[in-house]
Structure 1
Amino acid sequence: MDDLLSGSLARLDGVARHGELVRAGVGRRELSAAWQEGEILRVRHGVYAVPGLPAGVERAVRVGGVLAGPSACGLLGLWEPPGPALHVSVEQHARALRDPDHANRPLDPAREDVVVLYDREAGWGAGGALSRRPRRHVGLRACLRQTIARSEPRAGLAVLDSAVRGHGLTPADLLSLRAELPARCHRVLDRADPSAESGSESIMRWGLVEAGLSFEAQKWVGDGIRVDFLVAGRVVVECVSHEFHAGRREYERDRARIAAVARTGHTVLEFTHHQVLDEWPMVIGTILAAVVRG
């Protein structure tokens, strides 16, 4: 690939309009040759990108915007809410939106798996300001605002907790977000807690609060033993993940840990990530039954 073209794409985060590259000094012949050789992609008419973009980014750019909301969480190091929809942030008056998988087809407005958010703060435009903006996906602040506003509260909390934990959001940051979100979202912000170590823990905490149960999170119940939740002072609730218990050694160590917790006299319940997210009535019913039995 031509050095000037390669450097220009690198400065533009791997995604650029034809006019931007021409203004950077890239010749039309060099641009055409790089495309013909497969060294760059023509994502949609007049928009080029380096090969190997994350699939969601390429599809969002093809639509005519950038990856947004729940779809951008993973790329920002946040917990990823489940769901197949592609969220794309475009300019308020965006036109000529295309199918995410076929650049020659208009976007079908009836598609339920593509969510278009007309809230991108600025357009492509000309000049240097654009280059300093995220070009593949929205920034952290916009992603949180979009995700919390459009997700069920427990999922919004899981994303927010991961941002507080991983990005160091401060109380001032949360107040600022509060001013940008509708009142119905404020209870999510009020429950932010960086002590949650996984999305399932955040969702479990949300459910316990909604059920009116008293509990302590990240509670020490024995000598060197910390549990995810101690409910009603006597029921230990653990959120387990196959990711952290896949090997035999890890599995054996965790079983020994649970046995040690049981020896303290507590009832111990374990629930998987899938159960917490998708089988909540069973989960909360089991916890309530254990609390009642004492």
Structure 2
Amino acid sequence: MSTHQTDTGTRTRTDTGAAAPAPAALFTAERSAEIVTDSFARTLDPRLREILGSLVHHLHAFAKDVDLTVDEWAAGIRFLTETGHTCDDTRQEFIMLSDVLGLSMLVETLAHPADGQYTESTVEGPFHMVDSPPRALGDTIDEAAAGGEACLVTGRITDAEGTPVAGAHVDVWQADADGYYDVQRPGEVPDRNLRGLFTADDDGRFWFRTIVPRHYPIPTDGPVGGLLRATGRHSFRAAHIHVEVTSPATRTLTTHLFVADSPYLDSDAVFGVKESLVRDFAEVDDPDRAAAHGLPNPFRHVDFPVTVQRDG
């Protein structure tokens, strides 16, 4: 600490040289949140001040509500420390913690309200870590050809008025028939397998070939996995295809296409399932249609029309 002499006497200064705030009320359990929140009164950013104040009020209310003990507080600190230590360039354990607590889905849903007009959004997930390769409409994204039910995915990108969004980019990625993404099997499957970046035609339509994805578990070898086991929760995600739609004229939409007969639709580990995103992957027994799309007969087909919001 240092001091600074003024005409009216000595004023205490912090190590950073900033003037110390006016004396605050001494801490009491009854007024704890109010006292701490008052310490942020000089925060220049009003949004930061609002967020910190609300955080403190809810955090202190939580501690009082459960009568949090010192040992329990220390265990929570250890858990958060371990969560941070588990993060690296390809794994974000804090995001996974947010996912299993439902916070990720809540923030995503609040940020992108569907309002009954637009395709509902959901979380991007931890496996969109590489760029999808550009592919022509109708191409297959299954380069490994390692099994699974052949599938045709079709769709059309429109706005709320039904106007097609020509040239929209449709980025898709998914797990394989065993429930693994390509990044989980390096050296075993082709790079960027089951990923594709498609450009919708002038009528907003897109289509591609793939396989029906399988449900899969999120990683459980870290603190989040321990939390799931301690609370008797499973770690599985319902089977889905990730779909992200972008164009210069519309807001980006990140969503999922869920397989209707998949397990865990009603207990998805990250709460990602919304009823409007569940679709039948119907079996098609039509040799001529199969041949036209370069697919074996029979095959599965799902249609996924997508409605996006125009900018502004």
Q: TM-score, normalised by structure 2?
A: 0.29
**Could you say which structure has the greater relative contact order, defined with CA pairs below 8 angstroms and 6 or more residues apart?**
2
> Where is the helix percentage greater, Structure 1 or Structure 2?
1
